[in-house]
Structure 1
Amino acid sequence: MIGAVGVVVPARDEAELVGACLRSVLRSVRALPPGVEWAVCVVADRCADPTEVVARHALAGHRRVVVLGNDAELTIGEVRDLGVDRVRTLLSAHPAERTLLLHTDADTVVTPRWASEHLARCAEGAHAVAGAARLSSPPTSRLARIRYRDVLERARRPEGHGNVYGANLGVRADAFEAVGGFGAVAHGEDHGLWRRLDAGGFRVRYDSAATVITSGRVVGRAPSGLAALLASLAVE
């Protein structure tokens, strides 16, 4: 039985979007069942804009929330791990096997039942859940839209949608720790974690009920992330 949920949000130069992200996260965690504690950590990673200020304002007045400013040269995997360490500290009264770690991105808005759906899948026996993502705006060209639909269809498998997004990932803390967390990975940290969980015999699950709406931009922060994929689909 999960008794605590920790949400980690890495953010670099996302002052325009992080406020909406955090308001959606707060709405979602406040809808968790009574008795489930929650914590939120934003890692403002080497920001040159007011991301950290906006995040602090959005989280003001709530308990067990923190905004960490990071100036070190860390990989995205290490940034996410830093956030995990802090929410685990905030929820230290709860053992790892009863703690769910949720991950999203600062350019993403989660749905009101996002946290509850992840929690429900864990109650059904999942150690890790890869949720679904919708784009906030579709690719601009018809060719790119067709290619994107093809990408989604090729990923689909009998057990679910087949996609893994750092913007929508839930992992029980004991499973996360057993495979070493995200690690010092510059990109693809979400897929790497998922592969290690699967290879380690943990119960992984794709779930379309746990949904987020993520940015459809073609210039993003991760060199091999969703924005880079969308940009490549637009090439004639």
Structure 2
Amino acid sequence: MIGIVIPAHNEEAYLAECLHAARLAATHPALDGEPVEIVVVLDSCSDASASVVESFDVHALTLDARNVGKGRAAGASFMLERGARWLAFTDADSRVAPDWLVVQLALDADAVCGCVTVDDWSAHTSATREAFYRAYTHADRHRHIHGANLGVSADAYRRAGGIPPLECSEDVAFTEQLAGIGARIAWSAAPCVVTSARVASKARGGFGDTLAALAEREAREALAGCAAVSHALTDTEGQEA
């Protein structure tokens, strides 16, 4: 059995699309009928996320931790207890490709770190978008780590000690644990996941904060550029006088 784990905190706006995509991946014909189960870990939700989950044939766990590391770990433990041989993690504001699981398994690794793409940059400036793509390597042998696109065998998960209970960067810490036990990690661009580029980040230090930092850096550089131009013009005017 394959287990898909999706932590969620107030994700009513994205959850339905996320679960539709996960169900498509779970029923891909190349899985040859292997059972795939999905669990959504509802962490401190005060919106209609639970109602959205109830409309799908998936499992739901409820936490009051406001901690994405604890959420992923709770979902992983639930799936391992049910006999999962492979754990596939994504986020509630993300949509996995129909062949997401097939591609992860085909890489024949202990763990898979995939890339993400963004399909709607409307909340950000074009400068932020361009800065992201300049800094991002969407190719094999990248070194990006995303909780929205992470897979691991049950054996490697256990040997690595599981996902740590961190409020942010739990995916990075867990990948370091995997490397520490000598796990074979596939750094691949093949497993595709589309994620949101929302301005309000749900996890401190997460993808949303990364985009915010890029926007801030672009703004600083733009201001510095304007100041340099102004200074140059002032110098030129002084020389002409």
Q: If the length of structure 2 is used for normalisation, what is the TM-score?
A: 0.84
Partner secondary structure for residue 163 of structure 2: coil
CA contact (8 A) 2:7 2:43 kept: yes
Amino acid at match of 1:193: F
Distance apart, 1:74 and its partner CA: 5.3
CA contact (8 A) 1:28 1:110 kept: yes
Distance apart, 1:217 and its partner CA: 0.9
Aligned match of 2:9: 12
Structure 2 runs not aligned, ≥5 long: 220-241
Matched residues in 2 for 1:9 and 1:114: separation?
A: 14
Structure 1 segments of 4 or more deviating over 3 A? none
**Are residue 140 (structure 1) and residue 124 (structure 2) matched?**
yes
Aligned match of 1:85: 77
Task: Indicate how the Cα distance of structure 1 residues 74 and 137 shifts in structure 2: closer, same or farther if over 3 A, else same.
Answer: closer
Matched residues in 2 for 1:202 and 1:89: separation?
A: 22
| Superposition pairs of residues 126-205 of structure 1, within 5 angstroms | 126-138=109-121, 140-153=124-137, 160-205=141-186
| Superposition pairs of residues 1-236 of structure 1, within 5 angstroms | 4-31=1-28, 32-59=30-57, 65-71=58-64, 73=65, 75-90=67-82, 92=83, 99-122=85-108, 126-138=109-121, 140-153=124-137, 160-235=141-216, 236=219
1:111-153 Cα shifts (integer Å, max 9, x gaps) = 111111111113xxx1000111101213732321232123214
Partner secondary structure for residue 25 of structure 1: helix
CA contact (8 A) 1:43 1:69 kept: yes
Matched residues in 2 for 1:145 and 1:9: separation?
A: 26
Asked which structure has the greater CA Rg, the reply is 2
Matched residues in 2 for 1:148 and 1:136: separation?
A: 13
Matched residues in 2 for 1:17 and 1:143: separation?
A: 25
Distance apart, 1:169 and its partner CA: 0.2
1:81-139 Cα shifts (integer Å, max 9, x gaps) = 1001111223x3x6xxxx110000000011111111111113xxx10001111012137
**Corresponding pairs, count:** 215
Partner secondary structure for residue 144 of structure 1: helix
The structure in which a higher percent of residues are helix is 2
CA contact (8 A) 1:52 1:69 kept: no
RMSD: 1.7
The structure in which a higher percent of residues are strand is 1
Structure 1 runs not aligned, ≥5 long: 60-64
1:140-174 Cα shifts (integer Å, max 9, x gaps) = 32321232123214xx78x5122110000000011
CA contact (8 A) 1:217 1:227 kept: yes
CA contact (8 A) 1:132 1:168 kept: yes
